[in-house]
Amino acid sequence: MVKNTMNVVKGVGVGMLAGAAAVTVGSMMFKDRKHLKKNAGKALHAFGELVDNVEYMFR
């Protein structure tokens, strides 16, 4: 029973560590909003071109 409890405690600890890392990375990304907006705009433009190309192939 003690072994099972220790495994649960280890799992909770790893989960908390992973969550803290995700929050840190996420907050760092949102600090640089200009760069994020620029990348999002590029991604939308590329996706639009992809849709246009697929549409052209089906004609």
pLDDT for 8 equals: 78
Q: Which two tokens stand for residue 7?
A: 């495994």
pLDDT of amino acid 32: 65
Is the model's pTM score more than 0.75? no
CB of 29 within 8 A of CB of 36?
yes
Q: pLDDT digits over 16-48, tens only?
A: 888 878 887 777 666 666 776 777 888 888 888
